[in-house]
Structure 1
């Protein structure tokens, strides 16, 4: 993807609305843009790896409006980028 934007995993949460749904949030290193992905868990033994970063289409990114959340995402994305190669998984 030539015009892609690198985003880093900053948050993993369980959905309040649906059981067995994990929400993965990726953000740009400046914390200003984010991408949410949902993953359904198929069983208790579901141990799929999670990519630490993605090359995302800029049109699919949202804008992080909350200044505190933007700072948190920037800290988390920077830490992930410092600790991992872009192709690493957790």
Structure 2
């Protein structure tokens, strides 16, 4: 869609409740989307290098250090992976 934005995976973490959190961000680091998956769901779903989501579903990154980190990692992912590549 015209209002969809491509985001690249910038972070993946695991917690004690067996949840996996995946964060996708824009290459400028300004916007992000956080997704939580159970370990069971992860075994049935590919986590791809990039996703496309409607702009209105994205959150703003308010912290400058986080924005820079997201921009660096999103750019690295965009340069080294195809958007639909499982990572």
TM-score by length of 2: 0.90
The correspondence of residues 9-88 of structure 1 with structure 2, limited to 5 A, is 9-15=9-15, 19-42=17-40, 46=43, 48-88=45-85
Larger Rg: 1
Question: CA–CA distance in 2 between the matches of 1:6 and 1:56?
Answer: 7
- Structure 1: 5+ residue stretches without partners: none
Structure with a larger share of its residues in helix: 2
- Per the alignment, in what secondary structure is the counterpart of residue 11 of structure 1? strand
The Cα RMSD (Å) is 1.6
- Structure 2: 5+ residue stretches without partners: none
Query: How many residues are aligned here?
Result: 86
Give how far 1:34 is off. 0.2
TM-score by length of 1: 0.87
